[in-house]
Structure 1
Amino acid sequence: MTPGGLDAGPGTRAPEVLHEGRGVSTPGVRERSREEEWARPAMGDRERLARAALTRVLEPGDERGGRWLREVGATELIRRITARDGTAEQLRGMTTKRLAGYRLRAEAVDPERDLASVAAVGGRFVCPGDHEWPSQLDDLGDSRPTGLWVRGRPDLRLWALRSVAVVGARACTPYGAHMAASLGAGLAELGWVVVSGAAFGVDGAAHRGALSAGGATMAVLACGVDVAYPRGHAELIGRVAEQGLVIGELPPADHPTRSRFILRNRVIAALTRGTVVVEAEYRSGSLVTARSAQRLGRFIMGVPGPATSGLSAGVHELLRGEGVLVTDAAEVAELVGEIGDLAPARRGPVLARDLLDAASARVLDALPSHGSVSGRDIARTAGTSADEALGRLYELHSLGFVERAGEGWQLTPRPTRNGGPRRGGP
């Protein structure tokens, strides 16, 4: 393999190879330009190498670059960028300034080195068209990733088929961390893959929740998959890579920037069936993820918080729009899952009074909270005959709701938590 990243084609003489960028050349041998290296006949996966190279040239979400990729292909695009034959200027939207920036980045491209680096940490490079490529990312159109650097053993496409994103504030409250961890564990127990961004706060809690349940989780990074960012989550990211998947658009050793965090969110939104937001202010990257998911036709959900909490203000705004309120993993699964994935019915505790028929309930309600009353007064208040009231009173007596008090009836006293009497039966 040449330093330019492609195999030498048949008939290419070995002495003509330049060890470009490494300060080594062979005396008396003509040096090849970088564009010539890309243009040579291939004996391998040229498109994969070209896409790997382009992850260092194009920024994530570069729609112009995505359009050029679609129109001319990766190999031809990197050739035009590095060539000096004027073909790059023929690309729609290519300006002299933009081309100069691309060429400056292309000077440091070495896809073979990047592929070796990711392989050294147990990773690989997945391209559109690969069996492992999640086709739902194609919904991003020209802003879809050029390729994904993946670290971990599981199959990315299969895991993404049944995945949910849980995102939220970095500076979350204990309530937010609890809810994120609970959702992560609950979704994992229901067989869902929990996807988040490995950041502090809600992201980390969601990953830990899934891991604690022995479940599946994926971390989508805004840097190289061999970079532990934030550094405080180095151990967590390592655990995710061992038990799940760590993925990203940027090549090995590349660093995160503010814009890359925002652009990373579109991958989280497109990769999953739905996005749950746990605590987010009005200006929040988590809301960017939710809005991206909404544009892509995915489910968007929010966990409510205190109305007075600024950290929940963005979530509440989301819920006033298209967002669906959820409080646990079962409700999330009911929304994003298949037919039959129903959350259990929610209601308060069933009291003994709730099981009474309507007539008996009216008779019971006719008794005062203190003191006794005659059967005729009870019948008058309940709107029934004296005989029917008497029959209902004896039924209520057998059930422990009422008792005789001389010639009248009264509610059976019940002990309260502090030991004192309380009226009203069981």
Structure 2
Amino acid sequence: MNDIDTWGFATGRPPAQSPSTQSAARRHEPQRTARAALTRIVEPGDETAGRWLREMGPVALWHALADEDADPPAGARPAKIAGLRLRAARARPAEDLATVASLGGRFLCPGDDEWPGQLDDLGDARPIGLWVRGRANLRLWALRSVAVVGARACTEYGAHLAATLGAGLADRGWTVASGAAYGIDGAAHRGTLAADGATIAVLASGIDHAYPRGHTELIGRIAEQGLVVAELPPGDHPTRSRFIQRNRVIAALTRGTVVVEAELRSGSLVTARRALALGRFTMGMPGPVTSALSAGVHQLLRGEATVVTDADEVIELVGSIGDLAPERRGPALVRDLLDPVAARVLEALPARGAAGATHLAREAGTPHELTHTKLLELQALGFVQRYGDRWELVRRAEGTDRSRRGGA
């Protein structure tokens, strides 16, 4: 028989651990430790492994993968089990837990008070657990959160939109989630931080491994002011598939996803469509029709997404009843306050020259006396002036004159 390890089950190759590591391990319950180990063994979003986890439980699954003599999960392909067992040999969950604790972080499991229940919508693709840095409560912050994602090689227009949107959402008490990447992600995080708002960075690496390297300072600021979250254990690096799987967490964690600039082939569109499949709101901010960086957003808007232009419109969609965006109206003009008859009389006056009251009554379709009364009102308001028995428009600056003539 194999030796029985610290957490109560046999392992084919018990990890060599220092006394301090063993002590740290004893402080964690078996299921939490098993899940921590599995985050180093199983790739994020692996639905087959997720089904095994659901059917067997974390302790039994780790046992099956760590012990070469143990029976593998039912129906598992030998090649897959062989690869997972190679990874299991390097799993040191107690060390990982200690490393994250030294950073002031923690490891969350499904069922914890801080676990965001909306992640369970992913089914067997649900994260095994989440490694978290930051003082805030992830579950509470995620209750009122919006994902802002988009192109890495964004334009100045896109960066401005993302930063402004992040700040606007922060001002309204909403959390902004994104992936801490270059471009739109970084702009959204920075806009939120500048407004002293709440922001969550979901990484495709370990939470102690800043990626991209150029955002090391930004990710550090987010860890201090917000939350940094990852499925991967400390030290793990990102890969192309891990970026894609990271996007499903962003989509599931938030109430809705806003795409700001994205080409026709973009990971941001994957996030948006995953959000839609999960029953979340999907939104896009339009850009120039000539820009390839907005082509993906426009394609999304032609189908499943809703157009939004600012934080108010986003919150109107994802928020509670009564969170309505303000009515959009152009500037109010004095002419807008005229009653319909006065407006018709004003429209009857020629753009150049003067006209008599009889002519104006005929053109406006109003009785002569009523026309005369309305002309006196228009005179008092400064719209018209009288020369003998004829009337003409008051000449003002071109813009003012146009406004009084309805922009004609």
1:52 alignment partner, one of 36, 51, 54: 36
Cα distance change of structure 1 residues 19 and 425 upon mapping to structure 2, 3 Å threshold: closer
Question: Where does residue 157 of structure 1 map in the other structure?
Answer: 139
- 1:179 and 1:195 mapped to 2: Cα distance? 15
C-alpha contact 1:6 1:49 (8 A) present in aligned 2? no
2:306 aligned residue: 324
Q: Distance between the aligned counterparts of 2:236 and 2:242, measured in 1?
A: 11
The one of 169, 173, 181 equivalent to 1:199 is 181
2:355 aligned counterpart, secondary structure: coil
Report the CA distance between 1:143 and its aligned residue: 0.3
Q: CA deviation at 1:384?
A: 1.1
Counterparts of residues 211-230 of structure 1 (less than 5 Å): 211-230=193-212
Q: Secondary structure at the match of 1:87?
A: coil
My pick for the range that moved more, 248-257 or 379-388, is 379-388
Q: What SS does the aligned partner of 1:404 have?
A: strand
Q: Which residue of 1 aligns with 2:291?
A: 309
Percent identical: 63
Question: In structure 2, how many angstroms separate the alpha carbons of the residues matched to 1:67 and 1:255?
Answer: 25
Letter in 2 for 1:49: T
- Offset of 1:96 from its aligned partner? 1.2
Paired residue total = 396
- Counterpart pick for 2:339 among 335, 357, 361: 357
Whether 1:72 aligns to 2:93 is: no
TM-score using structure 1 length: 0.89
Q: Distance in 2 between matches of 1:81 and 1:108?
A: 12
Deviations 1:381-426 (A, max 9, x none): 1011211111100000000000012321000111247xx9879489
Gaps of 5+ in 2: none
CA spacing shift, 1:44–1:210, aligned 2, 3 Å:
closer
Structure 1 segments of 4 or more deviating over 3 A?
18-22, 420-426
SS at match of 2:201: strand
Calculate the TM-score normalised by the size of structure 2.
Answer: 0.93
Q: Does structure 1 conserve the Cα–Cα contact (< 8 Å) formed by 2:63 and 2:70?
A: no
Equivalent-residue separation in structure 2 for 1:259 and 1:57 (angstroms):
15
Change (3 A) 1:395 1:161: same
| Residue 47 (structure 2) pairs with residue 63 (structure 1) | yes
CA apart distance, 1:84: 3.0
> Secondary structure, in 3 states, of the residue corresponding to 1:218?
strand
Which residue of the partner structure matches residue 91 of structure 1? 74
Does structure 2 retain, via aligned residues, the 8 Å contact 1:304–1:316? yes
| 2:396 partner SS | strand
Task: Go from structure 1 to structure 2 and tell me whether the alpha carbon gap of 1:44 and 1:354 turns closer, same or farther (over 3 Å shift).
Answer: closer
Cα separation, 1, equivalents of 2:208 and 2:69: 37
Q: SS state of the match for residue 130, structure 1?
A: coil
Equivalence map 1:111-190=2 (5 Å): 111-190=93-172
Alpha carbons of 1:330 and 1:68: their partners in 2 closer, same or farther (altered >3 Å)? same
Distance 1:109 1:162 in 2: 35
Using the TM superposition, give the Cα deviation of residue 340 of structure 1 relative to its aligned residue in structure 2, in angstroms: 1.0
- The whole-number CA distance in structure 2 between the counterparts of 1:247 and 1:44 is 20
Equivalent residue number for residue 254 of structure 1: 236
RMSD after superposition: 2.3
